[in-house]
Amino acid sequence: MTGLDWGQFLAIGVVTVVVAPLLGRYLAATFRGGPAPGDRVFLPVERLAYRFTGIDPDSSQTWKGYAIAVVAFGAVSTLFLYAVLLLQGVLPFNPTHAPGMSPALSFNTAVSFVTGTDWQAYSGETQASYLAQMAGLVVAQFTAAAVGISVALAVIRGISGRARTIGNFWADLTRSLVRVFVPLSVIAALVLVSQGAVQNFSGFRTATTVAGGTQHIPGGPVASMEVIKLLGTNGGSFYGAGGAHPFENPTGFTNMFDLLLVIVLPFAIALMFGRLIGNRRQGRAIAAVMAILFVGLTLISMQAEAHGNQLLPTRVSQLASSHNIGGSMEGKESRFGPGGSALMTVGTMGTTAGATDSSLDSYTPIGGAGAFVAILLGEVSPGGDGGGLYSILVLALLAVFLAGLMVGRTPEFLGKKIRASQMKLIIAYVLALPITILVLGSLSLVMAVGTRSILNPGMHGLTEVTYAFASSAQNNGSAFAGLSANTPWYNTMLGLTMLIGRFVPIVLALAIAGSLAGARVHARTRATLDTTGPTFVAFLLGVILIMGGLIYLPMLILGPIGERIVG
């Protein structure tokens, strides 16, 4: 790794350490209840929304009521977006004359954006109208992010509170949008526009090239979509090239700014958790596990890409190094380099953003594996907005239970005992997505309708197919490339995978929270397991790594690890 690579890595770390606690404090004050920062500006907007929708923000729901509200909102949002995409060819505000999407692609895209996956089996600048982009996809990106925070808040109330209810979904959703995502998005969009990101409604402009030919230059409301795709840990891009497109991500500065938009808020949400439960050390312990995973996986990929392809002749590598272009530059932008590309990629794979600025298909086997493992571990490094927190909290409950078995004591977390009823739900949560990924991925590898889309045979092809299902199930949305995914089979199967990956964990997490809501909070004794210190951090980290290894190591050996060994 070069000095510039280390500088970028350290800069991201320092800014995150400084900003995340400040944002976590703001989030805690916002969602604690009662007077909150910005009431003079935000409260009238919220009241107008409540009056228009007939919501009583002071009412509270059981976990079942909360789950029904989340699923119902997702179903209605999906149907609306499906209709917009199917009919965009005859709807207004379509200067690029994008035709309506096919039913299978409309289904896949609608599900993708509503679930926060933002998997795109199409090229945005040519196949989506401005109306579909702004009134459909961008709105879904805002609401998907707000749903994630809302569910995290409900889980926090359930596992730590004394009431049998866990809050009001509609009030949580409204407050997340009005006080968090909209104001932060406006500020960040202005920063991107100041750096050269495109924000217009010009459609295509025709330019004459040096050779005398013509080229269509796409415009569009890019910066506004770019911000919420990152801040909301959504992914999805206005352009088919994603974060590698210079109109979307113009400079090395915007590349680092984009990464900060992705990772700071999830870390802040973990710290918010500590403040809301009145135990900041607990929030810092959770954030520490997230940070260790992020740092470890990022350094692995950055080092692998910095060393380049082992199959290149030694002389070629020496010449590249002498011209300061060492490392694996295939599939990467020169304005980012191997280090900056790997840093951005692993950072967005460790969340549910998946907004890479380079081609994963061109990464070295180990460099690509770093990003892949970040997804397979459940995207808790640091995970998506809200989703990363409730996922790691479920894993923390599992770790507490295992620790209790080891020392022969009834496990407790935040003073509440973890019993058989909770463990059944926790095991269902842990196994739901691996079963979905491995079963549907295996079907695609043995059926002709699935294998016809694989462009790279052998180990690399296995990685590409499994990555597609893992990315969809974990609501990441990135692609390893080399797979023709815009087919009826993959549009349908990946769409179903996204639905399972989004709503099954949400329902199970809410059920776990509901089973603990109102439970007796036991006083801490000398026998109580400390869940705030380094021992618990190491134990939780071990549980995450061992579980991920037991489930996915055989596939990784046949995929990227085997590819690295065989060469």
**Given this model, what pLDDT does residue 150 score?**
97
**Given this model, what pLDDT does residue 321 score?**
45
Assess whether pLDDT exceeds 90 at residue 69. yes
- Enter the tokens of residue 197: 């990101």
**Given this model, what pLDDT does residue 170 score?**
97
Assess whether pLDDT exceeds 80 at residue 447. yes
**Given this model, what pLDDT does residue 7 score?**
92
Asked if the structure places residue 316 within a domain, the reply is no
**Given this model, what pLDDT does residue 320 score?**
47
In angstroms, how far is the first alpha carbon of the chain from the final one? 22
Asked if the structure places residue 259 within a domain, the reply is yes
**Given this model, what pLDDT does residue 397 score?**
96
| Local confidence band at 45 (pLDDT 50, 70, 90 cut-offs) | very high
Q: Is the separation of the CB atoms in 160 and 518 below 8 Å?
A: no
Q: Is the separation of the CB atoms in 441 and 559 below 8 Å?
A: no
**Given this model, what pLDDT does residue 105 score?**
93
**Given this model, what pLDDT does residue 312 score?**
55
**Given this model, what pLDDT does residue 313 score?**
52
Instruction: Determine the Cα–Cα distance for residues 14 and 25; give it in Å rounded to an integer.
Output: 18
Residue 382's domain comprises: 3-206+213-311+321-566
More confident residue, 158 or 335: 158
Chain centre distance of CA 384: 4
Asked if the structure places residue 264 within a domain, the reply is yes
Side chain identity at 331, as an amino acid letter? G
CA neighbor of 46 nearest in space, from 176, 200, 139: 176
More confident residue, 483 or 561: 483
**Given this model, what pLDDT does residue 216 score?**
84
Q: Is the separation of the CB atoms in 331 and 361 below 8 Å?
A: yes
Instruction: Determine the Cα–Cα distance for residues 309 and 367; give it in Å rounded to an integer.
Output: 10
Mean pLDDT of 275-283: 95
Written in H, E and C, the secondary structure of 516-563 is: HCCCCCCCCCCCCCCCCCHHHHHHHHHHHHHHHHHHHHHHHHHHHHHH
**Given this model, what pLDDT does residue 235 score?**
86
- Across the strands, what pairs with 416? 413
- What are the tens digits of pLDDT across the range 355-389? 888 888 888 888 888 888 998 888 899 999 999 99
The mean pLDDT value of the chain amounts to 90
More confident residue, 364 or 230: 230
Asked if the structure places residue 59 within a domain, the reply is yes
Asked if the structure places residue 539 within a domain, the reply is yes
How many structural domains compose the chain? Answer: 1
**Given this model, what pLDDT does residue 273 score?**
97
Instruction: Determine the Cα–Cα distance for residues 551 and 545; give it in Å rounded to an integer.
Output: 10
Assess whether pLDDT exceeds 90 at residue 213. no
Assess whether pLDDT exceeds 60 at residue 99. yes
Instruction: Determine the Cα–Cα distance for residues 99 and 87; give it in Å rounded to an integer.
Output: 8
**Given this model, what pLDDT does residue 394 score?**
96
Asked if the structure places residue 235 within a domain, the reply is yes
**Given this model, what pLDDT does residue 210 score?**
85
Assess whether pLDDT exceeds 50 at residue 112. yes
Which residues make Cβ contacts (< 8 Å) with residue 321, sequence separation at least 6? none
**Given this model, what pLDDT does residue 471 score?**
92
Q: Is the separation of the CB atoms in 131 and 93 below 8 Å?
A: yes
Q: What percent of the chain has a predicted confidence (pLDDT) above 90?
A: 63
Side chain identity at 450, as an amino acid letter? G
| Local confidence band at 260 (pLDDT 50, 70, 90 cut-offs) | very high
Q: What percent of the chain has a predicted confidence (pLDDT) above 70?
A: 96
What predicted TM-score, i.e. pTM, was given to this entire model?
0.93
- What are the tens digits of pLDDT across the range 484-541? 888 999 999 999 999 999 999 999 999 999 999 989 888 887 778 889 999 999 999 9
- What are the tens digits of pLDDT across the range 296-354? 999 999 998 887 665 555 444 444 444 445 567 778 888 888 888 999 988 889 888 88
